[in-house]
Amino acid sequence: MPVTGTFRTAIEVAPERGAAPELPPHAAMLRRYLWVLGARGDRIEDLVQEAFVVALQKGLADRGQAAASAFLRGVAKNLLLRERRSRAMRREVELADAVWHEQCGGDGDDRVEALRRCVEALPDKSRALLTRCYQGGAGREALGAEFGMVPDGIKTALRRLRAGLRECIERRLRGGA
């Protein structure tokens, strides 16, 4: 029987089957977590979907938000470890997991919110540069032409912006303004 229509993920189909409507909010956190653990960009969505399938099979509904989040991170980490065969790669994942827990705690939403606020506080030109680079995918040559800078100047500006954002995020997470 031929497949028609658009491809739908397990999470999109699950609510129709009466299963786990609370899973989709965890998707962004799982993507961030897997990125921190070093998952390849082309594998992150697949790993998230696989983690959700396991969660649906295990019946995640009665665990609560924090427990569900922790469970999903554990599943995602184990799926990634299964992909990584060598001991060195496994060690990298374990170290990245420790960094996640140290820096992000649970789901990392507080860091994302701090980043949003720090970016909003940037001057318009700096915010536009970040947006064009990281959301628009523009390279240094294109950015240099657009912002009237040489490519090395763009590289330096982005490095300084990232350092400033890092300091701003850490300050906000410590409770400063």
- Nearest-angstrom CA–CA distance, 45 and 40: 10
Tell which residue, 41, 42, 73, has the closest CA to residue 55.
73
pLDDT score of 158 more than 70 = yes
Q: Report residue 16 as tokens.
A: 């129709």
Between CA 57 and CA 63, with CA 60 as vertex, the angle to 5 degrees is 155
- Nearest-angstrom CA–CA distance, 79 and 99: 18
Burial class (CB in 10 A: 0-12, 13-18, 19+), 107: buried
- Nearest-angstrom CA–CA distance, 154 and 139: 9
- Look at residue 111 and give its three-state secondary structure: helix
pTM of the model: 0.52
Question: Which is more confident, 8 or 131?
Answer: 131
Q: Report residue 84 as tokens.
A: 């990584």
CATH number, domain 111-173, options 1.10.10.10, 2.60.120.10, 1.10.1040.10, 1.10.3720.10: 1.10.10.10
Interval 36-83: pLDDT, tens: 998 888 889 999 999 988 888 887 666 677 888 889 999 999 999 888
pLDDT score of 163 more than 90 = yes
Q: Where are the domains of the chain?
A: 10-106, 111-173
3-state secondary structure 5-53: CCCCCHHHHHHHHCCCCCCHHHHHHHHHHHHHHCCCHHHHHHHHHHHHH
- Nearest-angstrom CA–CA distance, 39 and 45: 10
Lowest mean pLDDT among 7-11, 117-121, 140-144, 163-167: 7-11
